[in-house]
Amino acid sequence: MPREIGFFIVPEFEILDLTGPLSAFRMVEMTDGTRPYRLRVVSEAGGAVVSTAWLEITTEKLAALRFDTLIVVGGRGARLDPQPETRLDAIRSATTRTRRIASVCTGAFILAAAGLLDQRQATTHWRHAAALQRRYPGVRVDGDRIFIRDGAIWTSAGITAGIDLALAMIEADHG
């Protein structure tokens, strides 16, 4: 049975924060020809979501879906202050049905706003690390790491660091 990997996007998400890690998971094929992951792109309401590059991605509604891993994608929309409470509630609810949760780049702002990074170590793009620390002083931000795993929560630095995060998760799953 493939592990469900959900990629949570918000309007003005960074396309590479989505496609880099998504591609890493997509390329995994076992020696028997099976694919160990099923990939889904989700959003708060479902439907079309526009990236910072003006590309529209059709998503499923996060609602009651279950995932092995939920990855919150970064971008301008992830840095909104404040984040819509309905979005934060959707993320909080999803974590009760998810083995591990992660963020790519500024997706860490959404996890922090939802309270999921309180008293945890986390990272984001170096350019946004100081802002994440100022806005969420309960998070132990390290802006000089490619990715950080703190229990079941993983965070990564910007853009292509999401690929490194995905590869580390794949290694954790399959050696």
Known catalytic residues are: 105
Sign of the alpha-carbon torsion through 64, 79, 131, 156:
positive
Whether the CB-CB separation of 91 and 67 falls below 8 Å is answered with: no
Whether the CB-CB separation of 82 and 135 falls below 8 Å is answered with: no
Task: Give the full edge-to-edge strand order of the sheet including 3-8.
Answer: 47-50, 56-61, 37-43, 3-8, 67-72, 98-104, 153-156, 147-150
DSSP labels for 153-164? Answer: EEEE-STTHHHH
Amino acid at 108: A
Token reading at 141: 């931000």
Classify burial at 107, counting beta carbons within 10 Å of its beta carbon; exposed 0-12, middle 13-18, buried 19 or more. Answer: buried
